[in-house]
């Protein structure tokens, strides 16, 4: 345990690393919605949506005091890629059975998702909380 002095952090103090702390997300989507109306009042519809996402998160963070002035730091990050597709087919119409009119909606739905995630964690060089100098060098990280 260390006794921390009454010295204050600068209001601009940042325990992370500019070269490593980042969040980046890229999304691409495409789809369509088609409908055809027949002369007899029936209709057929098809809807499709495709999504591809890529996310990167890296961060260096304070992980407790090393001594009176230096903070231990850790590193964590993740990378994720996801693809998804959804397809919906519908047949819609009315049928009369004597005096009763029935509205029918019949359909088939298909969905598929694929997700790949990688996580990283590890140690990063300590930083002097009262005289910070960014390392700008790689920390130790491990793939989970």
Residue 6 lies in a domain: no
Q: How confident is the model at residue 80 (pLDDT cuts 50, 70, 90)?
A: very high
Separation of alpha carbons 34 and 115, rounded Å = 28
Q: How far is it, in rounded angstroms, from Cα 97 to Cα 104?
A: 13
Place of tokens 């100098």: 133
Per-residue CA distances from 47 to 33, 38, 39, 106, 108 (Å): 4, 18, 21, 14, 11
Q: What percent of the chain has pLDDT over 70?
A: 88
**Residue 91 belongs to what domain range?**
22-143
Q: How many domains does the chain have?
A: 1
Q: CA 41 to CA 34: how far, in whole Å?
A: 16
> What are the beta bridge partners of residue 99?
none
Give the model's confidence band at 28: pLDDT under 50 very low, under 70 low, under 90 confident, else very high: very high
Output DSSP code: residue 66.
S
SS3 51: strand
In a domain, 41, yes or no: yes
């Amino acid at each position: 345990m260390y006794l921390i002095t009454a010295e204050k952090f600068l209001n601009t103090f940042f325990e992370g690393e500019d070269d490593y702390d980042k969040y980046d997300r890229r999304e691409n989507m495409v789809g369509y919605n088609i409908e055809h109306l027949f002369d007899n009042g029936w209709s057929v519809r098809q809807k499709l949506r495709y999504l591809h996402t890529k996310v990167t998160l890296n961060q260096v963070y304070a992980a407790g005091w090393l001594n009176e002035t230096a903070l231990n730091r850790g590193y964590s990050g993740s990378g994720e890629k996801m693809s998804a597709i959804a397809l919906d087919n519908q047949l819609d119409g009315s049928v009369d059975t004597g005096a009763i009119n029935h509205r029918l909606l019949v359909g088939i739905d298909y969905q598929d998702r694929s997700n790949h995630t990688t996580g990283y964690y590890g140690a990063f060089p300590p930083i002097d909380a009262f005289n910070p100098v960014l390392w700008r060098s790689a920390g130790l990280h491990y793939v989970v």
